[in-house]
Amino acid sequence: MGKKKPRDYDREFTAHVAHRTRYRLGITTERGTVTRFVLQLEYLLNPATDEWNEVVRYDHDGRGSSEASHDVTVDGLHIDVYREGEKITSHELTPPLPASEALDRAEEHLKQNVEGYIKRFETWHSIETTR
């Protein structure tokens, strides 16, 4: 993910999506309730250095642990779009909703749009593929 790594979460998972792409999920719960999460699509820009970069990111932090945090129960679910390692835009996807529901919606949204996000990222970064 370039220079930035997600903050520590109670549980973290990665899953292969397609050639040079993966999902990364970090989740923290308290008494079974989601309190923080990050779900992002990442692209392996440089296999030699294991350099993964964000493509898109959804996140929630109900406690506002950082100045960049979002509380989906107040602000609604959003998606951050990255280009060349920098967030270039953010789009609101839903009105405010419970964090566990927001995580479900984020997973659904990413699955429905993953191919388009990957193609756009490859175009922006002049990556030629042989799919």
How confident is the model over 70-120, as pLDDT tens digits? 899 999 999 999 998 899 999 999 999 999 999 999 999 999 999 999 999
Whole-number mean pLDDT of the chain?
90
pLDDT, tens digit (0-9, with 9 covering 90-100), for 26-68: 999 999 999 999 999 999 998 899 999 999 999 999 876 655 6
Dump strand ranges (E) for 1-131: 11-18, 21-30, 33-46, 51-61, 78-83, 86-92
Question: Which helix (DSSP H) or strand (DSSP E) does residue 107 occupy?
Answer: helix 99-124
pLDDT of res. 130: 67
- Per-residue DSSP letter, 127: -
